[in-house]
């Protein structure tokens, strides 16, 4: 069960506007968004760039979650990354003076919205088409990119959860 006492997203039924074969991907993104938003309620901006045991900071995870979704869904469309996307990648995890938790959460939520829109427009016949990933154009399929985006999102969400809880506990001790 989620913190809202509702079943996890994947147990709430089909999403009407999402093709059947990418429903699990969409469910993962919606679950991640719910959990991330609940987790970050009240998290202080001053702890955003703190690390636990030399692991990545909450700020890095929040930036990376957004950036990876953006990049993998760009590759799924068969497009190359833009200069803006490459710059975003280069700055992931680098603290900026004015970065706020609320801004990073909003960016992630908007990226999930964008991913959900792309999933809703996906023609299932393209899911096995090959796409090049990165500068080396490593091979993947559209469905491979979507599934990796979902599992990568959940992996970083799990890391973020642990880091945030430890930092909150240390901050109150």
Residue 173 pLDDT:
67
Mean pLDDT of 80-87: 96
Q: Report the domain count for the chain.
A: 1
Is residue 101, in this structure, part of any structural domain at all? yes
pLDDT > 70? residue 2? no
Is residue 4, in this structure, part of any structural domain at all? no
Is residue 2, in this structure, part of any structural domain at all? no
CB 101 within 8 A of CB 43: yes
CATH at residue 104: 1.20.120.450
Q: What is the pLDDT of residues 3-54, one digit of tens each?
A: 568 999 999 999 999 999 999 999 999 999 999 999 999 999 999 999 999 9
Is residue 54, in this structure, part of any structural domain at all? yes
CA distance 29 to 23: 10
pTM of the predicted structure, to 2 decimals? 0.94
The packing angle between helices 142-172 and 23-39, to 10°, is 10
Residue 98 pLDDT:
78
Q: What is the pLDDT of residues 103-154, one digit of tens each?
A: 999 999 999 999 999 999 999 999 999 999 999 999 999 999 999 999 999 9
Residue 148 lies in domain: 9-172
Is residue 1, in this structure, part of any structural domain at all? no
In angstroms, the first-to-last Cα distance of the chain is 29
Is residue 94, in this structure, part of any structural domain at all? yes
- Residue 69's closest CA among 139, 136, 155, 145? 145
Is residue 142, in this structure, part of any structural domain at all? yes
Residue 44 pLDDT:
96
Is residue 3, in this structure, part of any structural domain at all? no
């Amino acid at each position: 069960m989620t913190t809202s006492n509702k079943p996890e997203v994947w147990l709430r039924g089909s999403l009407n506007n999402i093709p059947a074969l990418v429903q699990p991907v969409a469910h993962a993104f919606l679950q991640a968004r719910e959990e991330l938003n609940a987790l970050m309620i009240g998290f202080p901006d001053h702890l955003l760039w703190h690390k636990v045991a030399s692991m990545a900071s909450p700020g890095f995870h929040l930036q990376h979650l957004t950036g990876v979704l953006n990049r993998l869904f760009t590759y799924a469309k068969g497009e190359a990354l833009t200069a803006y996307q490459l710059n975003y990648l280069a700055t992931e995890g680098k603290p900026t003076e004015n970065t706020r938790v609320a801004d990073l959460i909003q960016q992630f939520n908007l990226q999930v919205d964008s991913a959900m829109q792309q999933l809703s427009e996906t023609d299932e016949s393209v899911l096995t088409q090959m796409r090049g990933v990165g500068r080396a154009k490593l091979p993947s399929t559209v469905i491979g990119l979507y599934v990796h985006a979902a599992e990568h999102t959940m992996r970083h969400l799990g890391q973020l959860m642990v880091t945030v809880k430890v930092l909150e506990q240390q901050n109150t001790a």
